[in-house]
């Protein structure tokens, strides 16, 4: 064996010994703690629903007052649960059915006419209109619930649905859509759902009977953009859906011509405009 072989063998043994010492040192080192995964707050369905109801109440207030106020409507107490529980005891609770009521008398005509139901779901099944599916994802069940509260409160149902990553859709009885159509409401796209008389299986296992009727669906933003709230208000009075009272009259914004007349009248009452002598 040559001197070179002896030297290489020594180097190899030294490298092995070095590796063994390194492995022992690593084993003795305390293990690194894994960083704790961040806990994401889980938002309950009720909390999500309350936020959706408040958002829509603000939108309806701004539309009804033509951008002037956002505090005309608000969510009902317990999203209508108080009115439902009182109804079981034979007690009436006006304007607390559904998901939205008014907080200012000028919003009364809209709430007097319609029972609003707001549904914000990750997804829902519109095909349930043809064949009943899971009640928790069924559009048909949502509409049936809206009809129940509307009948109890002697109003017309309006259902607004929101699916994740999609626009809000406003559902209404065909008769209401025809009346709005007569006021030049011609939205596209729109959906007509003609339902047969049937027994609808609800979420708690019970079933309710619904008659044959038709429902129209339109984009909510299209409704806000196309429909003048004062035209809708006069429609409600003209069709006896709402009762005209002085408290419920929305103050009209003064026009530019009216403002000019007011300024001229003020000038005349003060002796006219002054001029330097």
Of 171, 151, 156, nearest to 83 (Cα)? 151
Q: Which residue positions in the chain have pLDDT lower than 50?
A: 4, 6-7, 40, 43, 79-84, 86-92, 263, 265-277
Pick from 142, 218, 55, 143: nearest CA to 63? 55
Q: Which pTM was predicted?
A: 0.72
pLDDT per position as a tens digit, 93-144: 577 789 999 999 999 999 999 999 999 999 999 999 999 889 999 999 999 9
Q: What is the CA radius of gyration of the chain?
A: 33
**Tens digits of residue pLDDT in 134-152:** 999 999 999 999 999 999 9
pLDDT of the residue at 146: 95
- DSSP-derived secondary structure letter, 271: T
């Amino acid at each position: 064996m040559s001197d070179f072989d002896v030297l290489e063998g020594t180097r190899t043994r030294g490298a092995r010994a070095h590796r063994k010492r390194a492995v022992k040192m690593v084993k003795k080192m305390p293990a690194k703690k894994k960083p704790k995964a961040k806990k994401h707050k889980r938002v309950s369905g009720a909390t999500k629903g309350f936020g959706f109801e408040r958002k829509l109440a603000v939108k309806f207030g701004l539309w009804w007052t033509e951008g002037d106020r956002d505090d005309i409507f608000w969510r009902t107490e317990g999203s209508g649960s108080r009115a439902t529980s009182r109804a079981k005891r034979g007690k009436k609770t006006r304007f607390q059915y559904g998901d939205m009521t008014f907080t200012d008398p000028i919003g009364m005509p809209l709430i007097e006419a319609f029972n609003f139901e707001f549904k914000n779901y990750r997804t829902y099944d519109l095909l349930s209109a043809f064949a009943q599916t899971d009640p928790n994802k069924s559009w048909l069940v949502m509409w049936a619930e809206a009809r129940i509260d509307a009948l109890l409160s002697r109003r017309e149902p309006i259902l607004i649905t929101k699916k994740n990553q999609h626009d809000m859709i406003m559902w209404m009885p065909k008769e209401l859509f025809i009346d709005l159509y007569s006021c030049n409401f011609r939205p596209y796209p729109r959906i007509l759902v003609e339902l047969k008389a049937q027994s609808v299986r609800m979420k708690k296992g019970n079933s309710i009977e619904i008659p044959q009727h038709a429902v129209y669906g339109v984009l909510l933003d299209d409704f806000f953009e196309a429909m003048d709230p004062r035209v809708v208000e006069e429609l409600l009075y003209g069709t006896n859906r709402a009762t005209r009272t002085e408290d419920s009259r929305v103050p009209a914004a003064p026009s530019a011509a009216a403002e000019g007349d007011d300024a001229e009248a003020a000038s005349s009452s003060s002796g006219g405009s002054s001029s330097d002598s």
